[in-house]
Amino acid sequence: MTADPGVRGGDAAGMEPTRDLGATLPDLLDVMLDKGVYLDLDLIISVADVPLIGVSLRAAVAGVETMLEHGLMRSWDEQTRQWARRKAGRSVPLADGEAIVLRMAGGHLQAEPYRSWRPGIVYLTSRRLVVWRADPREILWQTPLEDLVAVDLRPEAGVDGPDRLRVRVLVPSGHVWLSAAAPQRLHDALRQTVATREGARDGDR
């Protein structure tokens, strides 16, 4: 087999290939994801000196973030984001202009008619905090973000294991307990929401 590689356009000297015997596969992946690799290759496959197959390859290989920085794949990125928003919208009802900030498995502690945890999905959106159950479709609990007064983490004794962290949210009607797959992450996001709202109020005074 014979190969006829070629470089077209640009500074050919600056695109000369290099060889590093100490390079590893992780090194190659780091370069591909961070800087990107451009392939410009003409390949002719011959058998008994008879050319049978020709391959003309022009490809850019890089991480998605690198692609977007250079103006590539923007249409795909926007279509993917729109699809994700539509999919999320089919799960939890969203108002016009409302965006999901955080989503994770969790639940809400029901106090009446009896005390029990109701599992679902916890959503932090740009407007509210929601605990949603998909089957049957039901909002187990929700509150507008402007009603968030405070939030903290409290341990709950486990029945057959170690204590579990629960998120306690203070709203005008009292304290509400939430469970979350990543309680620290939810707590930090809610604390940031409360701090941002309080900062905006101080700025208006």
pLDDT digits (tens, 9 = 90+) for 75-132: 877 787 777 666 654 578 888 899 999 999 999 999 888 889 999 999 999 999 999 9
Residues of the chain with CATH 2.30.29.30: 97-204
Contact 167, 187 (CB under 8 A): yes
DSSP string, 98-124: --EEEEEEEEEEE-SSS-EEEEEEEEE
Does the structure show a pLDDT above 90 at 184? yes
Does the structure show a pLDDT above 70 at 6? no
Structural domain 97-204, CATH architecture: Roll (2.30)
Indicate yes or no: pTM above 0.85.
no
Please, what is the average pLDDT of the chain? 80
